[in-house]
Every structure is written in C-alpha cells, then in structure tokens.
Amino acid sequence: MDTQKLNKNIFTEEATSIISPSWRTWLIGRPLQTADAPHQTIGKLIGLAVFASDALSSTAYASQEILMILALAGTAAFGYAFPISIAITVLMAIVAISYEQTIHAYPGGGGAYIVARDNLGELPAQTAGAALLTDYILTVAVSISSGVAQIVSAYPVLFPYRVHLAVLLVMFVMLANLRGVKESGTLFAIPTYFFVVVMFLTVGVGLFRYFTGGLGMVVDPPEIHLVGALTTVTPFLILHAFSSGTAALTGIEAISNGITAFKEPRSKNAGITLIWMALILGSLFLGITYLAGQVGAVPSEVETVISQIARTIFGGQGIIYLGVIAGTAIILVLAANTAFADFPRLSALHAGDGFLPRQLTYRGSRLVYSYGIVALAVIASLLIILFQASVTRLIPLYAIGVFLSFTLSQTGMARRWWKSGHLEPGVEVKEPGSILRFDKHWLVKMIINGLGALATFIVMIVFAITKFKDGAWIVVILTPTLVMIFFSIHHHYKNLARQLSLENDSNHIHASHNRVIIPVSGVHQGTLAALRFARTLSDDITVVHVSIDEAEADKIRKKWELWGEGVRLVVLNSPYRLLVEPLLNYISRLESIRRPNEILTIVVPQFRPRLGWQNFLHMRTAETLRKVLLSRDDVVIVEVPYHVK
C-alpha cells in the first residue's frame, strides 16, 4: 500500500511539473491529456462557426469576381450576373447533397481523400489530397486578403499596410487554433453569427427598399477601369464569369473532412450542419448578387461591392454600415479558420499513410496537429507577401483544386454505391475508411453522385481553360508536382521499413569487438571524462591528436604519459593546418582493415557551457564528425559532454 501511495505521489508530481506555468501555457493554454480528446468535440452551432466560415465568407467576394469579369464587356453586361449566380446556386445544391451522402457513408471523416483512396485507388487519392491541401493554403491567403480589403475599403489610409495586416491576422488565427478546436470554435462563434445576422439584415432591408421603391443607386461609385473592353458578350465571357463565381462553392467539403470533430452522433450532426451552411450560403449569395445589380455596384480594388451595397442601403457610412464592414472583414479572417481546422487533419491522414512527413501526425499539447497548423500559416503568409494581398490575383489559383477534389470525391462515391448495389443483403465488406453494406437506394444515390461528378468536372475544365492565363496554370503544374513528391516520400518510408524489418534476417552478424577512437585537442578534465566512458565500451582504445604545432604536440605527449593511464596516443601531423581531414583519413584507414564483426566507435569529448551562446566559442567537433560519418556502416559517434559551471 505504501509503495502504491509513493508511486501515486511520484506520478502526481510529474504531471504537475509538466503543466507548470510557462510562456507556452500563457500563449496556447495548459496541456491537455489524451483522455481529454472526447471532451474537445463540438456541437452543430460551434461546428457551423468552425467549418462553415470559409463557405459563408465567399459571399463577400464571389459576386464581385463575377462582376469583375463581366466588366470586360462594359457595365451593360452586369445584367448577366444574377442568372449566372442562379446557375452557381444550382451547382451548389448538387454538391451539398452529394457531400451529405459522403458524410453518412464515411463517418470517420477524410472527405475526398478517403473516398478516392477506397474506391478509385492511390493515385486519385493523392491527387485529391494535393488539390485539397493546395486549396486550404489558398483559402487562408484569399480570405485573409479579402478581409483586409474590407478594412481598407472603410479606411483607405491603411492600403499601403495591407500585406502587414494580412500576415498579422494569419498569425492570430494560427495561435487561436494552436489552443484547440473547441476553444477556437467558441472564440469565433460569436463573430460568425454576427456576420450572418448583419448580412441577412442588409439583404432583407435592401430587398424591402427595392420592392417599396426606396432603394437608390450607389453614390460616388469607385472608378472602373475597363481594359480591352469587348463590344459584345460572348459565351466564353459568360463561362469565364461563371468560373470566377464558383469560388462561392469553396469550403463546402470542409465538414466532410472534419466529421471527427463533432459530438456523437457525428454523421447526423455534421450532415445537419452542412445543410444549414448550404441554405445560408445560397440565400446570401443570390441576395447580394441581385442587390449589386439593382444599386449599380461596380467591381473595384479600392472599394468592395459589399461596401457599396451597404452604404447605399443604409444611407452612408453610419454605425450599421460599419457593422456590416466589420462583420464581413471578421468572417473573411475567420474563413481561414476552416482551413486551419481541416488542413492539419488532412495532412495527418496523408502522413499516417506515409505520403507526408510523419511529424504531421503528432498532436501537440492541446490535442491539435501543431506541425500542420504552423506549416499552413507559414506557406499562406508567403503567398500573401508574394501576391501583395491581392484577391483578384489570388482567385485564379483558388477554385480549380477544390473542383478537382469535388470530381474525384463524387466519382468515388458513385463507384461506392455501385459496389454497394452488387452486394447481397446482410453482407458487410470492411474497407480501410468505412464498412460497405447493401443499400436498397444505391441506384438513386449513384445517380446523384454521378451528376455531381459530371457537373464539377465540367466546371473544373471551364475554370482551367478560362483562368489558365490568369494564373490557373500554376495549380495545373503544382498538383501533379505535389503528387510526385507524395509518392517519393512514400517510397522512402516503404524502403526504410523494408530495411529496418526484422523478418528474414538470416544474415545478421553480431558484433564481437569494439574499437574506440577518442579525438582530443588537449589533455584536461573533459578528455579524462571521455576516457572513463570509453573504458566502459572496450579495452581497445586509441587517443588521437591532430598536430599543427610540434611544440604543443610535445606538451600533449608529456601530459598523456602522466594522465593517460597507459592508453595509446597517436599524433597525426597536419602540415596544412587542417583539423578534421587528417582524422577522417585515419578513420578511413582503420575501416579498411576492420574485421567484419568489428564496430568502430568515435568518442568525442564536448564542452557544454552554462550559457547557450557560449557554445559558439568552442569547436563543435562532434557535430562535424556526425555529419560526415553517419553515412558509413558500423561507425558510431558518441558525444561525452563535460559541463562547465
């Protein structure tokens, strides 16, 4: 009993020391135990804030991107914006229904990646994953840049600092997500719902004023620059505008990727949240596009369409206008939160399958994939700096990847329903991502997913063609490049696993002799510490000194005769004053005469000063030797620290 109490006290003390206050605790919160994971799940209301902010935020710029393309044919072409938005909303409904089926079929999450892996094969799965990971990076860059654009619309004096603001906001969202999904979701829920309320208020008041005859036109609209204006509206222009507006669909797949973040029953809660998101998104997108046409809003980098609509509806830049701008800017910043919730999960799935570095599977102190969160923030910040936080320059890179993943996901689901329809009732087939059972409605579901795959494939082709010159070519090249990198990483891990395997190890030879080499620069306490350690390894010990000064070498010989305890000393002359190369040549000579069952151990005495910066005042021989010798078989480098107080 006493022993049990003692052990309990020890464990308690260890746990307490782990969570002792520090700057990390203050910044991202106290560490959470693995057992706390089930308590970090979220409900539908918080889930809508976490996973729907990306999709909802697209209402702030999707209509503007349609108008930006139609402007090439003059302001008269703006009348096509609303019919185009209706077509996009129909596509949105098809995709939403398709993904709702995916959520129930794959309750473990993973979205397009898992669906493609189980039903289409490894290459389509990695293609879908590469497209989605790219899309999440662009989501952060586009949404943050668009949020800054809203702020600049209200305060033009901040325009020169838009890149700095964008990077700072990325870092803020990164820190919030490092604190955990539940905490970041709670933090962002209020501003997300504030945006939904103010946008429905804006659309509602705008429609009321329009139908009652009280809605005017935009006062002092920003100047529109028409470069190479067309005389007529062509089908190509309509398709170009349609592809730009499909940015409204980005983020719809987010919930299917993050099902595991929801409380039980996960699939039901995630499915309901998806339907809520689609209804809100479709309503706001149609309302904003319709009102933009009625008030005469024009696309501009100086003032957003949302800003023009709001000041027209509410009669200037009053408190409600500022509320709309604030809500829009905040939701655009929070749209990045969706990517921060999904990118780490998806990259962890890739890493778990061996297609990305294993470190991405590591859960940090707050039970989130910390490496994935930080990697996303860094890459997105670099994109913002490269494209100077310009939404128009970033958008062409944006949606092609997500439509590729849409197509692969829906194709995979259609094949899944086909497999399901050819099973006998009661038969279950266990697949890596789910359990396949007979479904009596398989034909209807296959048609729905097949229609979704066809629609998104057509949009992807249209997007690739119409946006190719604007920058979509980057994604067309980047996606297959990423897939090649994924398979290279996978090949490395498989090759490593094969070489490390203990199976069929019939040729294993046990080492029976250890030859120890101790390189020294002088005879001192650190040298003797290394010698004492070397004696625990072997009796075959050689101390080696590289001499660039004969007088100094004589001093070392005399001191070694006194303190060396009979261990042999070899002095290597270095007429060119090289230190490492003569030692490496000596080691190479020993390797050439080494017996098959002999190990060569290099024991390096190393000073460890009390202050970290003092390390730069000493030779780092151990690090140099390690870099050179690690590639050689049966050579071990051991560092023996001597702590200087």
* Domains of the chain, first to last: 40-493 (1.20.1740.10), 513-643 (3.40.50)
230-244, 315-329, 504-518, 608-622, range with the lowest pLDDT: 608-622
Say yes or no to pLDDT of 31 above 70: no
Return the CA Rg of the chain: 32
Neighbours of 442 (CB within 10 A): 17
Higher pLDDT, 623 or 334: 334
Dihedral over Cα of 567, 568, 569, 570: its sign: negative
Instruction: Give me the pLDDT at residue 30, please.
Output: 57
Determine the Cα angle at 497 with ends 494 and 503, to 5°. Answer: 125
pLDDT band for position 366 (cuts 50, 70, 90): low
* Cα gap 31→18, rounded to integer Å: 8
* Cα gap 178→379, rounded to integer Å: 16
Higher pLDDT, 461 or 470: 461
260-264, 398-402, 481-485, 536-540, range with the lowest pLDDT: 398-402
User: What is the pTM for the complete model shown?
Assistant: 0.70
Instruction: Give me the pLDDT at residue 10, please.
Output: 40
Q: How far is CA 465 from the centre of its chain?
A: 28
pLDDT band for position 110 (cuts 50, 70, 90): low
Say yes or no to pLDDT of 613 above 70: no
**Amino acid letter, 458:** I
Arithmetic mean of pLDDT over the chain: 81
| Mean pLDDT of all residues in 406-411 | 90
Instruction: Give me the pLDDT at residue 638, please.
Output: 87
35-49, 58-72, 164-178, 362-376, range with the lowest pLDDT: 35-49
Among residues 115, 117, 113, the alpha carbon closest in space to that of 104 is found at 115
The secondary structure element, H or E, covering residue 514 is: strand 513-519
Higher pLDDT, 36 or 507: 507
Instruction: Give me the pLDDT at residue 13, please.
Output: 42
Facing residues of 481 across strands?
Answer: none
Say yes or no to pLDDT of 29 above 70: no
Say yes or no to pLDDT of 93 above 70: yes
Instruction: Give me the pLDDT at residue 17, please.
Output: 43
Q: CA 266 → CA 270, 468, 472, distances in Å? A: 6, 39, 36
3-state SS, residue 579: coil
Is-contact 147 332, C-beta < 8 A?
yes
Is-contact 328 61, C-beta < 8 A?
no
Neighbours of 561 (CB within 10 A): 11
